[in-house]
Structures are given as C-alpha cells and as structure tokens.
Amino acid sequence: MQIRKMAILALLGTTGLTACDKGSDSSGGNESDADTDTDTDTDTDTDTDTDTDTSWTADTIVVDGAFGWDATKGAVAVATSPNGVITNYVNAMFLNYDDYTGSLAPSQFCFVTWELPAGTPSTNALFGDYWVGFDLSGITPTYTGKTTGDLVGNCEGLEGFTDLDRSKGESLEDFFTSVDVGFGIGNIATVPGKYYDDWGNSWSGSSYEKNYGDWNDLEDYFGASAFTTGGTAALGTDSNPGPMGVAFAYLVDESWNIVYDKDKFAIMLPLSAKGAAPTAFYQTASMYWYGTGFGG
C-alpha cells in the first residue's frame, strides 16, 4: 500500500458545521503533496449522464464520513443542524492519480456514498482497536461524477480499482460493493507517530486550519478515522485498517440538535483521552490518499 499526503480541503458543505473557538507509507513508498481541489460534497444520486467513451482504472482512494452516534444505545442516530436533518454517510472518492493531478480537465474520478441508516450498525471486525467500525457491505451505494464546479467524473467508464477488475456488465453499485470498503473512528493514539507528524505539517496553511483552527490547539479534540478495502489486496495487506485522517465530535442536545456557542460555532467535544466514542455528531477530515498510482 502506498500513501500520499493531501493538499487538504475541508469538506464542510454536507453538514454545514464549523469548529468552535473552544471554550509514510508502511510499504516504503514515497510521499508528496497532491491536489484535492474537487469538492466531494455533491449530489449522490446515481449519475449516468457521463461520457463513457474513455475507460479508466482507479488507483487511488480517499474516504470520509459523518454520522451521529448514540453511545448509550451503541447506535447511529440522526442529528439536526439549523440547515435541517443531517444525512449520515461514508463517502469515498475513487480516482486515477495521473489523470486527476496531471490533467487540466480531469475526468477519471467518481464519488461513491453509503448512507448509514439509523440504528445498530453492522460492524466490521477489522476495527477491533477502534471505537466504531462500519461494515458497509449491506448498504447499496450511490455514485456520481458531478462536482460543484465544471468538472465531471466519468463514473460509467470505470473498469476497475487497483487489482480488482469490474466484470463486463457489472453494475457500478455491485462493483463498489465488491471493493468492500469499511470505515471507522477511534482514539487518535491509533495513528502512528510519523503519520501524525505528517498531518500536522500538512494542516498548516490549509483550508482545514482556516475552518477548524491551529493544529496544536485542536490536539485534545482529535479522534482518528480509518478505512479498509477488503476486496483489493493492493490496499489491504500493509495496514488494515489504514489511518485516513482526524475525526471531530460535536455536542448534541437531548433532541439531537447540534449545540452552538454564542458566536454560532458548533461546540466540539475533547476526544484524545476517551476510551470509547461519546454521544455526539462526528465528522472526519481526510489527510491521506491511498493508492498504487504513485511511488518511487
């Protein structure tokens, strides 16, 4: 498995949350910055209105999520913000690294979303060292190539992901299910020190810093996010789950409304000393790309 640092972009559009003012590669691959300016907070309706003349293979993945968690019930819960009910989801961006970073108008990417239902989730045993780990195999994903800008990803042209080929006639829903993506959150201590230091360096000057604040000021508030890809050996052998980024927890009231301070910032809960996920609404911020399309 190879890992590449991201030129990180805060994905705040789905939940509308902003942080309050607080009251390397295990396989030896090289790391360098990568551009992630395409906004993944998009319409997740299945999209077939793309040009399928050009086939392509995804070699890179980025995974994020947001969900309410009721610690007393061990269940996914539905939270509400001033913008309305918040959808619980796990979102993965599949892309071809060379096209996405080297083309003036990249099209070899696709956004895939698993909507998490309320209630006791199906769990993924690989996340035994984490607080919560979701098995997404029973959820039919949706996909889209649409972005908030002019770029459109060619989802229908996707022929495979790393060493996993899409069979002739296989639907994209079935193919993305076969990738067997899992997602979870846990204590920030699950993140190896080298990764954590990398993330702190990448944070400085990024849109994350603008939206959430200084890395050092946030350390007590960090949880960790991680992912698995059981369907592809290329991403499932070196570090499984693979550390993906940081997780934030937002205070909710008894009615599952997000709680804001007097300055209208959503109030964060400290997580670094927690042994289990407290009741809260969680949102993750990815810090790495994982893939086979870059190295050496």
Tens digit of pLDDT for each residue in 244-269?
999 999 999 999 999 999 998 999 99
Tokens (6 digits) for 155: 């989802």
pLDDT at 110: 97
Please tell me what DSSP assigns to residue 85: E
CB burial of residue 75 (10 Å; 0-12, 13-18, 19+)? middle
C-alpha of 119 from chain center: 21
Per DSSP, the three-state class of 288 is: strand
pLDDT at 146: 95
Question: Residue 185: what residue type?
Answer: I
As a whole number of angstroms, the distance between CA 62 and CA 80 comes to 26
Residue 69 φ/ψ, nearest 5 degrees: -130, 120
Burial of 13-45, coded b for 16+ CB within 10 Å and e otherwise, reads: ebbebbbbeeeebbeebebeebebebbbbbebe
Annotate 100-148 with three-state secondary structure.
Answer: HHHCCCCCCEEEEEEECCCECCCECHHHCCCCEEEECCCCCCEEECECC
Sequence-ordered alpha helix ranges (H) in the chain: 97-102, 172-179, 193-203, 207-212, 215-218
As a whole number of angstroms, the distance between CA 178 and CA 155 comes to 16
pLDDT at 53: 57
pLDDT at 294: 63
- Map tokens 């984490």 to a residue: 130
Q: Where are the domains of the chain?
A: 2-289
The strand order across the sheet containing 158-161 reads: 56-58, 158-161, 164-165
Q: Taking a C-beta distance cutoff of 8 angstroms, is the pair 230, 222 a contact?
A: no
**Number of residues assigned to the chain:** 296
pLDDT (tens, 9 = 90+) of the chain, 296 residues, equals 454 444 333 322 333 443 433 332 322 222 333 333 334 444 444 444 444 458 999 999 999 999 999 999 999 999 999 999 999 999 999 999 999 999 999 999 999 999 999 999 999 999 999 999 999 999 999 999 999 989 999 999 999 999 999 999 999 999 999 999 999 999 999 999 988 999 999 999 998 998 899 999 999 999 999 999 887 766 644 457 889 999 999 999 999 999 999 998 999 999 999 999 999 999 999 998 888 876 53
pLDDT at 54: 87
C-alpha of 293 from chain center: 19
As a whole number of angstroms, the distance between CA 213 and CA 203 comes to 9
Please tell me what DSSP assigns to residue 63: E
pLDDT at 164: 93
Tokens (6 digits) for 223: 């949880």
Q: Taking a C-beta distance cutoff of 8 angstroms, is the pair 54, 107 a contact?
A: yes
Per DSSP, the three-state class of 219 is: helix
pLDDT at 289: 87
| pTM score, whole prediction | 0.83
